[in-house]
Structure 1
Amino acid sequence: MAQETVKKPPVRTLPREGRVTGADDILLERGRIGKAGGRIERVRPSNWSLKVTAAMTGVLLALFVTIHMVGNLKVYSGPESFNAYAHWLRVVGDPLLPEMGLLWIVRIVMGTALILHIWSTLLVRYRGFKLRGGGSKARLHGGSFISRLMLTTGLILMVFVVFHILDLTTGQANSDFQAPTATDSFAYENLINSFSNPLFASIYMVSMVALAFHLVHGLWVLATDLGVTALRTRTVWKAVAHLVALVVALVNLSIPAAVLMGVVS
């Protein structure tokens, strides 16, 4: 009686284009890139530390934009309330801290977090690009539409941060900018003057849409980068990421829209 031949199931591999030069196929199929002979080249800083850095700085930046959004809501209370809030930001901590002392501490911390966030995410992205062989043909398929837009939305937000500072903080981009004095702030008037310009209002609104996309994926990836594996926790965290991004975007989008429609003037 002839012995039956048992067919082995086909080995499933990751869909990709191109090959990684000098890589060990077994390590490659297990999701680890190594040189021939099974030795993995170690790099410093490690990808793990870079992802944790990106995650932690991302949390700080997300908290900042959320708190900033809450402060922006005061514009609906009128010029006195909004200007008083802007002036308070300059003198908070007095007399323990000098004028604008706490404000500059926040600016330095947030600026450092932004630089570290950009550096860590771009370095991880570059390493992946290099290990896949470089070029557009060495690209792994997969990922959501929003995840593939992360670089684009990040670049939009970088440009917006610079423009936003020049527009409403230092005034170089706002011809009607009124600088604050030791006793008064004109943040409300500067905001109205800026958003009354349809071009400036459009730049702000497009940037807020980009921020929403960036927050959705960034907060969702945060769970993965910090090692969260429980399905229920990941489901709840995904809902939180979408909710935070939606609320921040809608509130910030409402302000230039209200100015253009004459609701806030």
Structure 2
Amino acid sequence: MARTFWDSTVGKKTVMAVSGVIMLLYLVVHVYGNMKIFFGPDDFNAYGHWLRTVGEPFMHYGWTLWVIRVVLLVAVIAHAVSAYQLSRRDIKARPSRYAHSKPRASYATRTMRWGGIILALFIVWHVLDLTTGHVHSGGFQEGRPYENVVDTFSTWYGNVIYIVAMLAVGLHIRHGFWSAAQTLGVGSRTRDRALKTTANVLALLLTAGFVAVPVGVMTGLVS
């Protein structure tokens, strides 16, 4: 039954929609946490420590954070695999030759596709930069996220990578939110306008919230 559902186009679209919602909820919480950096190093570092102690004493130190990471990893993989397989299925369903020159995919589809690739590469860099410190530009300090963030956004390439990725996030949310709503049966002719407005507002707020951090460092507001 599960295999049949996964093999169907509807099943893959549903997996994409559900995994997308999981990632969207994470982004909303993540951008809210990021805003704490504007209250200074003590507040932001305390927040970073709290993330590792959530659920204690039932959960050991850092376990809740790892559960969240595993859920996100599964969501990202499910989303990417579903998107790739749906894309391949769509290409195979189209005729190999066209009577006139015409793009194979719409603007929204191309944006989602390339945005997804950019975000996948960004996630790897972001983890290696601010979680493990393997590609961190300065001296990575364990348990000092404020100082590590300032280090990263004190470099031109750190800002470029992050801002480009966040613009991709915004476009991905703008196109993906409405699509997910249709797949999950939330959309309708009377709700389309409200859903599209919600998608635009969410995309704008999340992009602005994430970009505010590197801009804060560049302008000296965060230092």
Q: Same fold (TM over 0.5)?
A: yes
| Structure 2 CA distance for partners of 1:45 and 1:139, relative to 1, 3 Å | farther
Q: CA deviation at 1:118?
A: 0.4
Number of the residue aligned with 1:196: 154
CA offsets 1:128-185 (integer angstroms, 9 cap, x no match)? 10121458989976975333311111100000000000110000111424343xxxx2
Distance 1:192 1:137 in 2: 54
Distance 1:136 1:174 in 2: 48
Two-structure CA RMSD over aligned residues (Å):
2.3
| Structure 2 CA distance for partners of 1:44 and 1:51, relative to 1, 3 Å | closer
Distance 1:70 1:136 in 2: 48
Is the partner of 1:174 in helix, strand or coil? Answer: coil
Matches within 5 A, 1:169-180: 169-180=131-142
Distance 1:112 1:139 in 2: 39
Number of the residue aligned with 1:54: 16
Q: Does 1:212 align with 2:170?
A: yes
Gaps of 5+ in 1: 1-41
Q: TM-score, normalised by structure 2?
A: 0.91
Q: Does 1:82 align with 2:44?
A: yes
| Structure 2 CA distance for partners of 1:229 and 1:67, relative to 1, 3 Å | closer
Number of the residue aligned with 2:27: 65
Is the partner of 1:170 in helix, strand or coil? Answer: coil
1 or 2, which has the higher helix percentage? 2
What is the aligned length? Answer: 220
Higher relative CO (Cα under 8 Å, sequence separation at least 6) belongs to 2
Number of the residue aligned with 1:167: 129
* Contact persistence 2:22–2:72 (CA under 8 A): yes
Gaps of 5+ in 2: none
Distance 1:58 1:210 in 2: 14
Moved more, 103-112 or 169-178: 169-178
Q: TM-score, normalised by structure 1?
A: 0.77
CA offsets 1:36-78 (integer angstroms, 9 cap, x no match)? xxxxxx9961000000000000000111111100000000000
Q: Does 1:125 align with 2:83?
A: no
Identity of aligned residues (%): 35
Alignment match of 2:191 (pick from 217, 227, 233): 233
Distance 1:153 1:70 in 2: 23
Number of the residue aligned with 2:219: 261
Number of the residue aligned with 1:186: 144
One-letter code aligned to 1:167: D
Distance 2:119 2:101 in 1: 25
One-letter code aligned to 1:124: L
One-letter code aligned to 1:194: T
Number of the residue aligned with 2:69: 107
| Structure 2 CA distance for partners of 1:47 and 1:264, relative to 1, 3 Å | same
